[in-house]
Structure 1
């Protein structure tokens, strides 16, 4: 881990690593969910749909399957509208399995279909309107769900965690299929819209940063990026590309 001893040396170090950081971002940096129907190439916001898409992304990518295949699968899930909680929550296990199979996600499709069902239950019941409707409305739950009157907003997860990264980590691991790796991948992306998570690089990207001369001082890296959370997300995804595709910087 690289550290600085005073503000002057910290500034010098930020200048030193700025060039390789900008090379990674300019050549390989991508916004979260790049290439999908959800992504806006200029900006993302913390909408419920965007956040749910980010969780779908990490559930799919947490399994030991090729990067290209998982990307194809997440594209198909989003094309089918699964990042809209009112759509995901009304799917059956069989429907989810079929959509995953159509996306090419064959080896773990049945397990993943179960995970997606559990995800929708938690998002609706813990982070949606149903948190406050009470037992008096229970007989009307199915009808409310059918007509899109129940929602789910993962911004409520951040609020429940009081904006604390480690509390968010604990709550994220309540989603089946999301382990330590999945949380790290989620943090790579969500810091772009939840600034309290920044600065963050997943452990494998941090190792890549050290290998290509950027070093492992997150605060210095963040300083070199002007403490811009979206830039940190671009760097994290760029470093992942460097590692996965064995790119030269």
Structure 2
């Protein structure tokens, strides 16, 4: 019997009908963004963007995605930088534990508090100011995001994959993990080639679907 690791890395053949059919099938079966699963109705507004940032921090650690998303939902009550700052460290820890985000709960609670302080000092509690500072350059967005505590390259990629739904200048955003997944299922391996397979409005869902099928190859079987 194949191991789970072997299942993840095995080549999955493209579905009949070509790459367009595979892309549509992928959207139908796995095209839910991680923000949507976490209960975030993403919009170019301060609170949902901040919640997306929080989710990206939680997903950055080596922990199951389902647990990180559960913890994101538990932190909904601290869905603005001000509320996160006003919460005590223990309240943040308790919310993370309710979401089963153990092992990293204490250090993450500290990082979230520090990140909320940075949000206030640097961006006046509004991530749209980070967007303005980046001036339409996705690389600058990615670099500025990594100034937040516990948000490294992986977390920045997560944020940009999801935020391309409301920040069009990020499109098409497919990070290395998404591109590797595309190669395994017989899709183009460059962002522009992948972008041609779906509507611009579906690029965030498509990127999320590529990540999901990498974790669960049976989604296309």
Specify if TM > 0.5.
yes
Post-superposition offset of 1:202: 2.1
Looking at structure 2, the residues matched to 111 and 178 of structure 1 have their Cα atoms a distance apart, in angstroms, of 13
Q: Residue 237 of structure 1 corresponds to which residue in structure 2?
A: 208
Work out which of the residue numbers 182, 190, 193 in structure 2 matches 1:220: 193
Determine helix, strand or coil for the equivalent of 1:163.
coil
Looking at structure 2, the residues matched to 166 and 202 of structure 1 have their Cα atoms a distance apart, in angstroms, of 12
Q: Residue 8 of structure 2 corresponds to which residue in structure 1?
A: none
Q: Residue 121 of structure 1 corresponds to which residue in structure 2?
A: 117
Looking at structure 2, the residues matched to 66 and 175 of structure 1 have their Cα atoms a distance apart, in angstroms, of 21
Q: Residue 31 of structure 1 corresponds to which residue in structure 2?
A: 33
Q: Residue 177 of structure 2 corresponds to which residue in structure 1?
A: 204
Determine helix, strand or coil for the equivalent of 1:55.
helix
Looking at structure 1, the residues matched to 197 and 97 of structure 2 have their Cα atoms a distance apart, in angstroms, of 43
Post-superposition offset of 1:245: 2.4
- What does 1:6-45 align with in structure 2 at a 5 Å threshold? 16-39=18-41, 44-45=42-43
Asked if residue 88 in structure 1 is aligned to residue 87 in structure 2, the reply is no
User: Does the 8 Å CA contact 2:29/2:219 hold for their aligned counterparts?
Assistant: no
Asked if residue 192 in structure 1 is aligned to residue 190 in structure 2, the reply is no
> Aligned-residue CA RMSD in angstroms?
1.5
1:56-115 Cα distance to aligned partner (Å, 9 max, x none): 11110111111221121111112xx22222211211222211211122111001110111
Aligned residues: 204
User: Does the 8 Å CA contact 2:30/2:219 hold for their aligned counterparts?
Assistant: no
User: Does the 8 Å CA contact 1:184/1:202 hold for their aligned counterparts?
Assistant: yes
Q: Residue 107 of structure 2 corresponds to which residue in structure 1?
A: 111
Work out which of the residue numbers 59, 62, 73 in structure 2 matches 1:75: 73
Looking at structure 2, the residues matched to 246 and 219 of structure 1 have their Cα atoms a distance apart, in angstroms, of 23
Determine helix, strand or coil for the equivalent of 1:153.
coil
Looking at structure 2, the residues matched to 244 and 74 of structure 1 have their Cα atoms a distance apart, in angstroms, of 20
User: Does the 8 Å CA contact 1:119/1:175 hold for their aligned counterparts?
Assistant: yes
Q: Residue 130 of structure 2 corresponds to which residue in structure 1?
A: 157
User: Does the 8 Å CA contact 1:58/1:182 hold for their aligned counterparts?
Assistant: yes
The gaps in structure 2 that reach 5 residues or longer are 1-16
Determine helix, strand or coil for the equivalent of 2:217.
coil
Q: TM-score, normalised by structure 2?
A: 0.87
Q: Residue 11 of structure 2 corresponds to which residue in structure 1?
A: none
Looking at structure 1, the residues matched to 168 and 65 of structure 2 have their Cα atoms a distance apart, in angstroms, of 27
